[in-house]
Structure 1
Amino acid sequence: MAYQLPQLKRILIWLATSKEVTNFTYGLDSNNRLQLASIISLITQVDTNKVLSYFEEIEQDIDLRELIKTSICQGNSLDRNSSDANVQYGRRIGWYAFVRILKPKVVIETGIDKGLGSCVICSALLRNQAEGHSGQYYGTDINPDAGFLFTSPYDQVGKILYGDSIESLQLLSESIDLFINDSDHSADYEMEEYKVIQEKLSLKSVILGDNSHETDKLQRFAMNTNRKFIFFKEKPKKHWYPGGGIGIAWS
C-alpha cells in the first residue's frame, strides 16, 4: 500500500484536473531527466550539460507554450476538448535534443496525433536554421484531422503527409537522418516501417522507436542491420501513467 496509495492520489488528481484520455502528457522525474541526458550524451558524444541545456531550451520556449494554449482553448474539435493546455513534453525533450545535436537535413515522424511532437521537432529545426543548418520535417498520419497544433511558424520547416504511413514512406526519395516511429503501434506495422526506410537511411542516421516499451522490433532491426540499440524508460513526474520510453538505434 505504501507504493499504491501515492499512485491512487495521482489518479484522483488527474481525474479532477486533466481532460486527456489518451497520449497523456507529463514531465519527467528529475533523475529520469538526467538519465535521458546521459544516454543522449553517450550516443552523440556531446557533453551531458549541453544536452540538458537543450532540454531547458524547449521547456522554456514561451512561444510554443502560448501557441499550444491558444490552439486548445480556442478550438472546438474533439481533439482539442480532450487536450490539456498546460502541456508537458515528457520524452519528447529527447527528440528535441537529438534534432539540435544531429542537425538533420530530413526528420520523419510517423503518427502525429495532435501535432505536439511535430511542433517540438520543428522548433528545434527552426533554431538549427537560425544557426545556419537547414532541415525539413515530414510527419505522416492516416487521420486527416491530425495535427491541429501544427501551424505557423512550425509549418515553415515541415509538412504533414496524410494517408497510410507505409505508402507515404515508400514515396519519399530523400535520405533520412532522423526517423521517429510513433504510428500504428502493432508490432508488425512497426517493423514494416523500418523495412521500408532501411535503404533510405543516411550513414549517420538515428532511429527512435516510440513503441519500444511494448515490442522488440526496433532492437531486432538494429541487430539485423548492424546498429547499436539502447532503451530509455520514462518515469513520469506526478502522473499515474507508468510512462513509455525511447528505443534508440544508431550506427
Structure 2
Amino acid sequence: MKRAILRKLKRNRLINGVRRVLYATTYYNPKYLQILKWGFSSKEDTNYTYELKDGNVRYLAQTIAAVTGEPFARVMGYIEEAQHDKELENHVVEAIKSSPYTAFADFRTGFAKRLGWYAFVRILKPRVIVETGIDKGLGAVILCAGLLRNKAEGHEGEYYGTDINPEAGYLLTGKYKAVGHILYGDSIKSLQSFDRQIDLFINDSDHSATYEYNEYQTIKPLLTEKGVILGDNSHVTDKLSQFSIENGRNFVFFREEPREHWYPGGGIGISY
C-alpha cells in the first residue's frame, strides 16, 4: 500500500519536485551551519586556512607516492613530520599575532594541501624552489621548513617566492628566512630575469587562466630534467594539464576535502 501511494505521489510533478529538492539539500545543509559558524568565529576573508579530513590526507600521500615512486609509508611519514612540527606551528601563530594583520587572520596554521608541497620537498630534495604568489607566506614557511630538514641531512636547497605586494611574506622570518628569498614585483617579470634552474615550481599567483599559462611557458626553459610543477589553480583552470600535454609531461590532480569548513577546497595539479 505504501509503495503504491509513493508511486502515485511521484507522478505528481509538483510534489515529486519538492521531494527531490528536499532530498538534494541534505548533501549541502551541513555547509550552511559551517558558514554560520565561520562567519562569527573566523577573521579570514581570503586564503582560508583549514585542516584536511584524515582520509583526504591519506589520498594526498597515496597520490604523491604514485607520482614519485616513494612508498606510501615514507610519504605519510613526511606529512606527519610537518603536522607535528610544533616549532613551525608556534612560529606561524606568533608571527601572525605580531603582524599588522591580526584583524584579518586566524591564529592557526591550517596547511591543508601545503602538506603535500612539504612532502615533495622532502622527497625530491630540490636545490631550487620557486613559488609565485606567496601572500602572507604560509606556503613559503612550510617549504623552507622542508628545506631546513633536507639541509640537516646534507642536501642544500633555497626557496624563492614572488609577489607583487611589497608587504607579502611576513611569515617568512627567523630561521626559515635563512633559506628563503622574496622577489617583489610582477611574477612573470621576476621569472624572466631568474637565472637558476628550477627543481620545484609552484604556481599560486594571479589566478587568471592566461597568466597561469604564461608562467608555465616562462619557466619551461628553467626546469631541470626531472623538475616538478605544482599548480594551485588546477581546480579552476586546465592550463597545467594543457601545458603537460603540449610538453609530453604526466599530469594528475588531487582535490582537497576540508575538515569542518564551508569552503569546498582547492587542490594540487601535479605535472612531472
TM over 0.5: yes
Give the alignment partner of residue 72 of structure 1, picking from 81, 96, 111. 96
Give the alignment partner of residue 199 of structure 1, picking from 188, 203, 221. 221
Give the alignment partner of residue 170 of structure 1, picking from 192, 196, 219. 192
Q: Which residue identity is paired with 2:116? A: G
Distance (whole Å) between structure 2 residues aligned to residue 74 and residue 179 of structure 1: 30
Partner of 2:142: 120
**Within-5 A mapping of 1:1-251:** 1-75=25-99, 77=100, 79-250=101-272
- Give the stretch that moved more between structures: 126-135 or 50-59: 50-59
Partner secondary structure for residue 61 of structure 2: helix
Contact 2:137 2:168 in 1 (8 A): yes
How far residue 106 of structure 1 moved from its aligned partner, in angstroms, is 0.3
Partner secondary structure for residue 135 of structure 2: coil
Q: Which residue identity is paired with 1:124? A: G
Distance (whole Å) between structure 2 residues aligned to residue 111 and residue 4 of structure 1: 32
TM-score, L = length of structure 2: 0.90
How far residue 39 of structure 1 moved from its aligned partner, in angstroms, is 0.6
Distance (whole Å) between structure 2 residues aligned to residue 128 and residue 64 of structure 1: 15
Distance (whole Å) between structure 2 residues aligned to residue 248 and residue 121 of structure 1: 16
Partner secondary structure for residue 174 of structure 2: coil
Partner secondary structure for residue 65 of structure 1: helix
Contact 2:172 2:180 in 1 (8 A): no
How far residue 81 of structure 1 moved from its aligned partner, in angstroms, is 2.1
Distance (whole Å) between structure 1 residues aligned to residue 231 and residue 239 of structure 2: 9
How far residue 121 of structure 1 moved from its aligned partner, in angstroms, is 0.1
Residue ranges of structure 1 left out of the alignment (5+ in a row): none
What per-residue deviation string (whole Å, max 9, x for no partner) do you get for residues 142-200 of structure 1? 00000111101111001000000001001111110000000000000001100110011
Partner secondary structure for residue 75 of structure 2: helix
What per-residue deviation string (whole Å, max 9, x for no partner) do you get for residues 63-88 of structure 1? 1111111112222x2x3321111221
Root-mean-square deviation over aligned CA pairs: 0.8
How far residue 130 of structure 1 moved from its aligned partner, in angstroms, is 0.2
Q: Which residue identity is paired with 2:32? A: L
Contact 2:134 2:168 in 1 (8 A): yes
What per-residue deviation string (whole Å, max 9, x for no partner) do you get for residues 98-134 of structure 1? 0000000000000000000000000000000000000
Distance (whole Å) between structure 1 residues aligned to residue 186 and residue 51 of structure 2: 31
Q: Percent of pairs identical after alignment?
A: 53
TM-score, L = length of structure 1: 0.97
Q: Which residue identity is paired with 1:15? A: G
Contact 2:56 2:257 in 1 (8 A): yes
Q: Which residue identity is paired with 2:61? A: A
Aligned residues: 248
Distance (whole Å) between structure 1 residues aligned to residue 93 and residue 180 of structure 2: 21
Contact 1:72 1:81 in 2 (8 A): no
Distance (whole Å) between structure 2 residues aligned to residue 246 and residue 80 of structure 1: 28
The ranges of structure 1 where at least 4 consecutive aligned residues each deviate by more than 2 angstroms after the TM superposition are none
How far residue 9 of structure 1 moved from its aligned partner, in angstroms, is 1.2
Q: Which residue identity is paired with 2:69? A: Q
Contact 1:110 1:165 in 2 (8 A): yes
